[in-house]
Amino acid sequence: MKVILTEKVPALGNIGEIVNVSAGHARNYLVPNGLAMVADEGNKKLLAAQQKSLGKKIQAQKDAANEIKKKVEGLTLELIKKVGASGKLFGTVTNAELSKELENKGVLVERRLIHLESPIKGLGTFTAKAKIFQDIEATFKVRVSIDPKQAEELKVAQEEALKAAEARKKAAAELKASGETATPVAEMTEEQRLKMEVDKLLRS
């Protein structure tokens, strides 16, 4: 069912927009609460006749949107995450999470208004947009960093793996110098050993 929004309605649209909703939602909530009217020919003509007063409402919302844009534009959200063995995040960064982070900074932006160039699944800096109202948009950054505790654990694991590799090299050299032959075993490269140690830590 098509309705004309007479107020800004979260998750639906802005004032003056024609949107599709269920008949029940329109008749039981939107229309009785003065948030919308049925988009029939009569109401469309009425809307056209009320453009002046409607224009004032739209301008007020544009002004509010521009104030939000000033706060969001150029902002960088800092997120701390844990990563898996492949360096990927456990899950992706969601719009709801970004909306909450913006709210923590005193800016209210609905999650449906946030758009990412691509899903955030790893560490790094990413660009996001907030489509605040009609053609008013704000661009901000999302910087995802590894959890400091996990980073320290990885550093320790890498150092221990390197020490173990050096110890193996030293033992092999001493064995060779003594003329003894070690029992043949399938050898891994040092890079493989290091990755195995780090993977073990990440799974713990």
Please write down the HEC assignment for all residues of 44-78. Answer: HHHHHHCHHHHHHHHHHHHHHHHHHHHHHCCCEEE
Phi-psi region of 61 (alpha: psi -120 to 50; beta: other; left: phi over 0): alpha
Question: What pLDDT, on the 0 to 100 scale, is given for residue 185?
Answer: 46
- Length of the chain measured in residues: 204
Question: What pLDDT, on the 0 to 100 scale, is given for residue 54?
Answer: 73
Residue type for 12, please?
L
Q: Which CATH superfamily is domain 2-49 in?
A: Ribosomal protein L9, N-terminal domain (3.40.5.10)
Give the residue extent of every domain in the chain: 2-49, 72-146, 149-203
Helices and strands, number each (H, E), in the chain = 6, 9
Please tell me the class of the 72-146 domain: alpha beta
- Measure the CA–CA gap between 194 and 159, rounded to whole angstroms: 9
Indicate whether 200 pLDDT > 60.
no
Q: pLDDT tens for residues 49-78?
A: 777 777 788 888 899 999 999 999 999 999
Q: pLDDT tens for residues 100-111?
A: 999 999 999 989
- Measure the CA–CA gap between 97 and 69, rounded to whole angstroms: 19
Question: In this prediction, what percent of the chain has a pLDDT beyond 70?
Answer: 82
